[in-house]
Structure 1
Amino acid sequence: MCLAIPGKITEIYQKNALQMAKIDFGGVAKEICLEFVPEAKLGDYALVHAGFVISLMNETEAEESIQLIQEVSRFDNEVS
């Protein structure tokens, strides 16, 4: 199963001729490639899979996705 995680773009820069970003995932920042979404801008919410932003989303969609992921995680912990 593949899972894409939402995060907020906090920095955009070039690295090795690629458009890259620092994306905040609830306090954890990761370097992510923006090449698939060149229209991305600072403050946007992005859906990230395997080190790449695969789409942009609004803040409400991002928050709803994060809540669902947290619910699944809690359920998994209860079952295990």
Structure 2
Amino acid sequence: MCIALPGRIQEIKEDYAIVSLMETESEVNIGLIEDPKVGDYILVHAGCGIQKIEEHYYHEVQELMSEWVSTFE
């Protein structure tokens, strides 16, 4: 099973972006994202942005992931 995390692009540096992921910032390759822009919501898997997503989907998935993580605390 593969899990992609929802993130929001904070800054773009050529083919890489600083992406906010689950309350942390990570450098992500965005070479697969068509016309990426600061503020876009994306799914990230294995350090690569794999697709843009709608804002409501970002919030929904982030909430589900937070609930899932809290079960391990």
Larger Rg: 1
The normalised TM-score by structure 2 is 0.88
Q: Counterpart of 1:35 in 2: which secondary structure?
A: coil
Whichever structure has more helix as a proportion of its residues is 1
Question: Aligned pair count?
Answer: 73
Q: Deviations over 1:12-46 (max 9, x none)?
A: 112xxxx1100011431100001111311110011
Q: Between the two proteins, what is the percent identity of the paired residues?
A: 34
Moved over 4 A (4+): none
The normalised TM-score by structure 1 is 0.81
Cα distance between partner residues in 1 of 2:70 and 2:29: 30
**Counterpart pick for 1:34 among 26, 30, 37:** 30
**Counterpart pick for 1:53 among 29, 49, 54:** 49
Structure 1, gaps ≥5 residues long: none
Cα distance between partner residues in 2 of 1:72 and 1:6: 14
Cα distance between partner residues in 2 of 1:69 and 1:40: 24
- Counterpart of 2:2 in structure 1 is 2
Q: Counterpart of 2:25 in 1: which secondary structure?
A: strand
- Counterpart of 2:11 in structure 1 is 11
